[in-house]
Amino acid sequence: MRLKNKVTVVTGAGQGMGRAIARLFAAEGARVVALDVNVAAAQETAGSDGLALEVNIADSAAVNAAFDTVLEKFGRVDVLVNNAGIGSVDAFADITDETWARVIGVNLTGAFYCARAAVRAMQAKGTLGAIINTSSTSAVSGDGPAHYCATKAGLMGLTRCMAKELAPQGIRVNTLVPGPTNTPMMQGIPEEWAEAIIKGVPMGRMAEPEDIARAALFLASDDAGFVTGQNLAVNGGSAFI
């Protein structure tokens, strides 16, 4: 078991990639803390030894309260997977102020809130931790709505800065970069878009959430003990990061 007794916080754990990551990590021995706006869905992934919390990660106070709860229950945080993300299908000129703020608030600001809380917990306990920020090949390809692409590119920059600053403290920070993945978010796009996306993947299919989960497991485990500040693309060859 590569994550035995590791206290692991997974955001957006109620569905899609987050659900697959939480389940695999639990199977690998982690004490999973599943954060999601849908706490019932998160509960299914946390397992009997874990914890599910209803949290809007765009709310700084809610994030801090959630991590306080984690510390009260488990005493430490070993791993954070910043997976939660949202998007919408909007032409650039049609993006409203409210939509822009909502996507930025969850995908980038929310990830920052969670990473900050996790780092503070790790520093307080002297934990050799691992943080994974989930980006997207859209960050470099520009294939997607502007607000979504901007947040995913921002996460790459956040990772690099955090990795350099935190490496001396034994906290590793990497970016997981999925390509097109068969998740509820992807299922909401027009069928012709999906067909075009698949045509652009040399391996001829979208990733499944489990493909992404296995890559996340590597980054979270001691197998990646000398890996930090990197972008790990899991995309079937659809883009080179």
**Tokens matching residue 46:** 């946390």
- The residue range of the domain holding 87 is 7-234
Task: Give domain status of residue 1, yes or no.
Answer: no
pLDDT at 136: 95
Task: Give domain status of residue 55, yes or no.
Answer: yes
Give the pLDDT band of residue 191 (cuts 50, 70, 90).
confident
Highest mean pLDDT among 145-154, 186-195, 196-205: 145-154
Task: Give domain status of residue 2, yes or no.
Answer: no
Number of Cβ within a 10 Å radius of residue 229: 16
Task: Give domain status of residue 87, yes or no.
Answer: yes
Is 188's pLDDT higher than 70? no
- Asked if 46 and 26 touch (Cβ cutoff 8 Å), the reply is yes
Cα–Cα distance for residue pair 114/86, rounded to 1 Å = 16
Cα–Cα distance for residue pair 168/162, rounded to 1 Å = 11
Q: How many domains does the chain have?
A: 1
Q: Which residues are catalytic?
A: 148
Task: Give domain status of residue 240, yes or no.
Answer: no
| CATH code for the domain of 36 | 3.40.50.720
